[in-house]
Copies of this chain bind each other. A is one copy, B any other.
Amino acid sequence: MSAHRIDFLLNYSETIKCLYYNNVLTSADISNYTGKSIPHATRVLNELIKEGYIEEKGFANSSGGRKPLNYSLIAGTHYILSVAMDQFSAQMVMVDMKNNFITETKRYEFNIHDLQPEMLLNCLNEFIDNSGITKSSIIGIGISMPGFVDTEKGVNYTYLNVFDQTLVEYIQQKISIPVFLANDSTAIALAEQKFGLAANLKNVMVLNLGWGIGLGMILNDKIFRGNNGLAGEFSHIPLFKNGKLCTCGKHGCLETEASLIAVTATAKEGIKKGQITSLAAYEDIDADLIISEAVKGDAFSVRLISEAAYHVGEGLAILIHLMNPAAIVLSGKGSIVGNLWMAPIQQAINEHCIPRLTKYTKFIISNLNIKAQLIGSAALVVENFGKNLEEKLTEIKECSLV
């Protein structure tokens, strides 16, 4: 029954998409987004109203004439399960058709290196069962996580290897809901593009400030994934001749100087050498602590963060030369203290960038906070609304018949 209802929606995927991203739109807006004429947009809207997916939402303003009608999706017709993973946890939340989080955000903890596909599957099942949402009204599951992810294939080459299937196939088969997989930074970039301060900009670089420094690129309005879905490995660009071994096996990656892992190592070293710092009072020193002490004003902590940020800025200078972006967005967990990063980054840009280029690039600190990745994972499902989702649905159907 409900599967039929999703099939029905797929015919109107472009309209659904732009309404999901924009909450309320007029028929003229939708005509613009979909590239179809206004009578066409109106016809689609009426069809969707008749079937109960869209409702009228009062009038928008006009510059002096008849006021246009506003339309919006009805929130509770379908749901998306959004999953945002990092090294140590998976956060899950149920999202409705208006991009509202309609359940508590549940957090499952683990170490991603030890995580087995089956464990993730159990978490997903448990979360769905407890959510009170019927499985058949869930359009899809969007999962984002660190590692080398090929979204098209549905594989994470770094973590969660399944023996003879892709990770997406595995979950999809067991749970009978379409699954989409993306890199965490890609998801964050998607969130920023659709719901953040960088919305409507055509070429944007979104930095995911966390343990590493992830990058999601929006080029010509679309997430850029490269030829094999592996683009954006900003963290591992070979930038330094420091001889430091990186987790990736190479030497001198940006990450070896600019990540919070590197910062923590430097901090510990400094304390051992007798550096005067409020950090010395703590037994266990981690990145969160350094950040919070920096915010409180500890000079050593500030210097450490600043140095890392300066190195990030050096990397960004390269990125600006190559991509000439409209904006660079600082997002991800680290962006909560975005101001701490900003000045040193600017400093590095000023030193290393051709002025003609920098003057076109805005720097933006995200306002999506820690929600970015969850918003992005849900948006991942919406992005694939249409043909991709349809394919997955038939895959699932075929599987259940066998």
* A interface residues (Cβ-Cβ under 8 A, vs B): 148, 157, 201-203, 215, 217, 219-220, 222, 224-234, 236-239, 241, 248-250, 252, 314, 317-319, 321-326, 351-354, 356-357, 360-361
Given A219-B224, A238-B317, A314-B238, residue A231 in contact with residue B322 (CB < 8 A): yes
Q: How far is the CB of A258 from chain B (nearest CB, A)?
A: 14
One of B215, B252, B357 near A230 (C-beta < 8 A): B357
Residues of chain B contacted by A231 (CB below 8 angstroms): 322-324
Q: How many copies of this chain?
A: 2
Residues of chain B contacted by A239 (CB below 8 angstroms): 239, 318
Is A237 touching B360 in the complex (CB atoms < 8 A)? no
Residue on B nearest A203 in the bound complex, by CB: B227
Is A233 touching B322 in the complex (CB atoms < 8 A)? yes
One of B219, B249, B326, B354 near A236 (C-beta < 8 A): B354
Is B322 touching A232 in the complex (CB atoms < 8 A)? yes
Residues of chain B contacted by A233 (CB below 8 angstroms): 321-322, 324, 354, 357
- Complex Cα gap A228–B355 (Å): 13
6 tightest A-B contacts by CB?
A226-B324, A238-B352, A231-B324, A233-B321, A227-B326, A230-B324
Is A236 touching B360 in the complex (CB atoms < 8 A)? no
Sampled A-B contacts (17; CB under 8 Å): A202-B227, A203-B227, A217-B322, A219-B224, A220-B220, A220-B222, A226-B325, A227-B361, A232-B322, A233-B357, A236-B321, A239-B318, A241-B241, A250-B352, A250-B353, A252-B352, A318-B318
Q: How far is the CB of A349 from chain B (nearest CB, A)?
A: 10
Mostly, the A contact residues are loop
One of B227, B322, B351, B356 near A322 (C-beta < 8 A): B322
Given A238-B314, A318-B238, A318-B318, residue A229 in contact with residue B354 (CB < 8 A): no
- Complex Cα gap A228–B323 (Å): 10
Q: How far is the CB of A105 from chain B (nearest CB, A)?
A: 32
One of B229, B238, B326, B354 near A324 (C-beta < 8 A): B229
- Complex Cα gap A354–B252 (Å): 12
Is A237 touching B322 in the complex (CB atoms < 8 A)? yes
- Complex Cα gap A239–B314 (Å): 9
Is B321 touching A354 in the complex (CB atoms < 8 A)? no
- Complex Cα gap A102–B209 (Å): 56
Q: How far is the CB of A247 from chain B (nearest CB, A)?
A: 11
- Complex Cα gap A326–B176 (Å): 34
Name which of A217, A225, A228, A234 has the most chain B CB atoms within 10 A of its CB. Answer: A228
Is A321 touching B203 in the complex (CB atoms < 8 A)? no
Given A227-B203, A326-B227, residue A237 in contact with residue B356 (CB < 8 A): no
- Complex Cα gap A126–B217 (Å): 46
- Complex Cα gap A239–B356 (Å): 19
Residues of chain B contacted by A249 (CB below 8 angstroms): 354
Is B360 touching A230 in the complex (CB atoms < 8 A)? yes
Residues of chain B contacted by A360 (CB below 8 angstroms): 227-228, 230
One of B228, B325, B356 near A148 (C-beta < 8 A): B356
Residue on B nearest A158 in the bound complex, by CB: B356
Residue on B nearest A235 in the bound complex, by CB: B321
- Complex Cα gap A215–B323 (Å): 11
Residues of chain B contacted by A237 (CB below 8 angstroms): 317-318, 321-322
